[in-house]
Amino acid sequence: MDLEDLANEIILEIFGYFSTFDLLRSFYNLNIRFNHLVFANFHTSGVDFSRISLQDFHLVCQEYLPAIADHIPSLRLTNDDDTPQQADIFLQHGLTLRQLHQLRKLSLCDICSNDIMITMMSDWTSLRYLTHLTLAGCYLTFDQSTSQILIDTIWSLPILIYCYLNISFEETSIAIPTVKSISLKYLFIWGFAYDQSQLNTIFQHTPYLEQCSILFNMDIPDQSLVISQPLSSMTRLRIHSSHIEDDCLVKFLQIMPNLYQLIIDVDSLDLHSTNSILNGYQWETIIRFYLPHLRIFRLRIEFSFPDQNDLDKQVDDLLKTFRSSFWLEEHKWIVRCHWNQWNTACLYTLPYKFVDLKFDSSMKYKSTCPNDNHYLSYNHVEDLQYKILPIQSPMVSSIRFMNVDHLSIEFPMDMHSLPNMPRLDQVTSLEICIINNYLAQSKLQTLLNQMHCLSSFSFHPCSLSLLGSSFFKLTHTKIRQLDFRIFFQYFDDEQCTNLCDSPLGKQCEVLSIKIKKRQSLPDLINNMINLRTLNIQFEDDQFEQENDDELVHWLRNHLLSTCLISRDTALNKDIRIWIR
């Protein structure tokens, strides 16, 4: 049977396994039917050129994008470690967003160039069908005026429904919209924390908002603040803050009487706060008086008890406030507290539905559930920081993590299994720290062998001096990304050579590393034949912003002219090179 004999639905399902570039290279312009199916796939999956090689992306910009511009409903451009200057190349080929007449969803990630963002900002105003805009991981040095233009341009888009903003501005350049959006319903802002007055202004200019996630700065209470008109359209809210202030939170929530879902995430204890954690009675009062329609309540607060003595009793006293009929009968909301001997604690609702978790093997836990053995599967956790200690609590042995994607683990190497993680085969990214004075390479290899999908591998700072040559003997067929940026020491010539000759070095495609001598770099690139991109720091880098970048000039003179070389704007010790 030929491929053309298959039904369209089956072909589209097959297309789902192809990257955007492979789909275009393999099926575009074979015939009219396949062109229609390729375009139909774009409407489902969008156009995404992540992890593409430099040569292939040049080909895309030259031959494919101009021809299919009218058929692209969704586009993602990213200047991340895999494709460090992708947006630059897009523009250098004379392409513009204005050409994408049918574009509905636009994602720009890791853009750290003011000029590129200004160009994109000018172009997206002409996109008549744009409903979704994502600016993620962008670092900009805009002045206040340009920051204001950026925000107001977004709020002026006539049919924009969804906006995700994770932008780092200069501290003095935080902008609040001055124009009113007539369409925005879903807003997620994670680049900077707003105080109550600023959030009030944002809501005034986003009157049809239904769902919002924000960083809330409660350090600047404004007793004279005039409460705006109720935001009756808001039904879902997520607040991330460093601590909770009762009065400030009440003043904020009372303008949203129709909230159906509230998520509170507090990630650290503010020692200056007089009320760092609210108990069950206080939450009950807030919800009863100000949120009568609330049905979904998720809470997570990391904290320390004021007294390190008798932690078990303090946990019991706290949980008692969450055992009223309001919690257990009216809403059936269950909470759990876990804590360790160092007085680090976390209080959260069950089942646990946050995607990240800090976990150590010495923890104890108690909950308001009649049976503490319920809700022990943390199936929503994708990013797990796991610390294995000589002190083991028998209580935590029953907890299970079934869907971890990124695992950061600190442990003594006499352990090579993780009893809480029966599904290590799903881990794609591993960050590891060895805390005793030797490395049993065979045991680490045994651990790696259980992670069949692992593609990214890195070490914590204190591990490199302990590794010696053991790392260079490790093998894994799917690891393609190695990250040594956070090490305290720089690779010398011998270590660079060992890396090139190692099994993982030979197959590495994306490398982040620190090296002593810039002269070692050409050999490193030439000998790592699969290396596509490189993020590198040099010990002799004397970069100063007000002077010419001598190191970048040197690299351009000593590497192939086809390499794209730039200094990271946000982390100016990092040099980013797109090689092939």
Coil/strand/helix, residue 82: coil
DSSP-derived letter for residue 42 is H
- Could you tell me whether strands 364-367 and 334-339 are parallel, antiparallel, or unpaired per DSSP bridges? antiparallel
Q: What are phi and psi for residue 567, nearest 5 degrees?
A: -95, 135
Strand partners, 108: 77, 135
Report whether 399 contacts 386 (CB < 8 A): no
pLDDT for res 276: 61
- Which residue type does 76 have? R
Cα separation of 231 and 291, whole Å? 13
Of 7, 60, 30, 55, the closest CA to residue 563 belongs to: 55
- Could you tell me whether strands 132-139 and 162-168 are parallel, antiparallel, or unpaired per DSSP bridges? parallel
- Could you tell me whether strands 186-194 and 211-216 are parallel, antiparallel, or unpaired per DSSP bridges? parallel
Of 512, 525, 517, 513, the closest CA to residue 493 belongs to: 517
CA gyration radius, the chain: 26
Report whether 217 contacts 243 (CB < 8 A): no
pLDDT for res 172: 60
Q: How many other C-beta atoms are found inside a 10 Å radius of the C-beta of residue 358?
A: 16
pLDDT for res 433: 78
DSSP-derived letter for residue 355 is S
pLDDT for res 242: 81
Report whether 357 contacts 385 (CB < 8 A): yes
Cα separation of 175 and 166, whole Å? 13
Q: In the β-sheet with 406-411, what is the strand arrangement from edge to edge? A: 356-360, 383-387, 406-411, 429-434, 456-459, 481-483, 510-515, 533-538, 575-578, 564-567
Q: Is the sign of the CA dihedral 500, 502, 503, 505 positive or negative?
A: negative
Token code pair at residue 453: 């999908």
Report whether 100 contacts 128 (CB < 8 A): no
Q: 154 CB contacts (<8 Å, ≥6 apart)?
A: 133, 160, 163, 165, 177
Map tokens 């980013």 to a residue. 576
Q: How many other C-beta atoms are found inside a 10 Å radius of the C-beta of residue 313?
A: 11
Q: 306 CB contacts (<8 Å, ≥6 apart)?
A: none
- Which residue type does 67 have? A
Distance of CA 559 to the CA centre of its chain: 32
Would residue 329 be called left, alpha or beta, if left means φ above 0 and alpha means ψ between -120 and 50 degrees?
Answer: alpha
pLDDT for res 468: 61
Of 218, 212, 209, 298, the closest CA to residue 262 belongs to: 298
Cα separation of 522 and 53, whole Å? 19
Q: Is the sign of the CA dihedral 419, 425, 430, 432 positive or negative?
A: positive
Token code pair at residue 212: 């919002």
Q: What are phi and psi for residue 318, nearest 5 degrees?
A: -70, -50
- Mean pLDDT for each 10-residue chunk of the chain (580 residues)? 77 82 84 82 83 91 89 92 92 94 94 92 94 93 88 95 88 80 94 84 93 84 59 93 82 90 81 64 94 96 84 91 96 93 89 92 89 88 86 77 90 62 88 66 81 89 58 89 80 89 93 90 91 91 73 88 85 87
Token code pair at residue 77: 């451009």
Strand partners, 106: 75, 133
Report whether 157 contacts 124 (CB < 8 A): yes
DSSP-derived letter for residue 61 is I
Report whether 154 contacts 133 (CB < 8 A): yes
| Terminal C-alpha separation, the chain | 38
Report whether 279 contacts 318 (CB < 8 A): yes
Cα separation of 84 and 536, whole Å? 12
Report whether 108 contacts 83 (CB < 8 A): no
Of 392, 336, 344, the closest CA to residue 365 belongs to: 336
pLDDT for res 136: 93
